[in-house]
Amino acid sequence: MNLNQLRSLPADHIDLIMTSAISFGVISAPPGTPRPQQVVTAMAQRLGTGLFLRNQLVEPGGYRYRSVEGPLDVRDVMKACHAAQFAYRDTRLWVGSNEQRVVDAVAKAAAMRIPGYELSPWVWTRPTEEAIGYAPAGSWWPADLDGVERIADLEDLAARWTTARVVIVTPAALPELPELLARPRLYVIVEPELAVDTIKRSNSHRPPIDSVLVWPEAAQWLREELLI
């Protein structure tokens, strides 16, 4: 990264932080406030201006808040906040300022909205095994999926459900999973011809599915991302 880029964060960058502050409820109008949208827009304008004026090179046109349209990608929001925290850390009266509090709060709110965050346990313990897989006896399972122990017994899967870092199942296993608790890093591995149907089923499946992996195209990703 070119650190000179952080000398002056553009208005779009600040707009993203301010729009997220409104969307995530970091800044809001008190209950019963007439025209609350106008109030929060004015707050975003004031706080955004405070950030903008901390730039080392201030554009002559000043800052005018413009809401970011469309869905917010929490990864973009987190990175924008981290950049602001770095860029403004040495500016006058940054620590304890309203601007710092809002940027820090937006970063925290974005982190809590990362997909899968709500499934991770509040109290973490080391997994007792890296990756396990489940496919009912007699059903398809990739012959060359190395590093993943295949389980064919549902009771064995249930006993190890929370102790493995990664669980991989097949489409044939999905009807047998609803009684199990939601957990992070649960993947479905599927042959190409079943991918579309499995993706549709997984969108509303309980427990939630992190991703559908098409085999063998997903082999490299599994090795690199899941370290198996």
Phi, psi (rounded to 5 degrees) for 139: -100, 170
The number of CA neighbours under 13 Å toward the Cβ of 117 is: 10
| pLDDT at residue 2 tops 70 | no
Amino acid at 111: A
pLDDT score for 11: 94
Tell me the CA end-to-end span of the chain in Å, nearest whole number. 31
| pLDDT at residue 161 tops 80 | yes
Per mean pLDDT, which range of 52-61, 106-115, 211-220 is the poorest? 52-61
Spatial contact of 51 and 9, defined as CB atoms under 8 Å apart: yes
Quote helix, strand, coil % in the chain, to nearest 5.
45, 10, 45
- Which among 223, 30, 35 is positioned nearest to 131, based on CA atoms? 223
Mean pLDDT highest for which of 70-74, 105-109, 223-227? 105-109
pLDDT score for 56: 85
| pLDDT at residue 4 tops 70 | no
Contacts of 213 (CB under 8 A, 6+ apart): 168, 187, 188, 189, 190, 221, 222
The band of 206, judged by pLDDT with boundaries at 50, 70 and 90, is confident
Contacts of 47 (CB under 8 A, 6+ apart): 18, 21, 27, 98, 99, 102
SS3 65: coil
23-71 per-position pLDDT tens digit? 999 999 888 888 889 999 999 999 999 999 999 887 777 899 999 999 9
Amino acid at 18: M
Exposed, middle or buried: residue 28 (CB in 10 Å: 0-12, 13-18, 19+)? middle
Mean pLDDT, the chain, rounded, equals 89
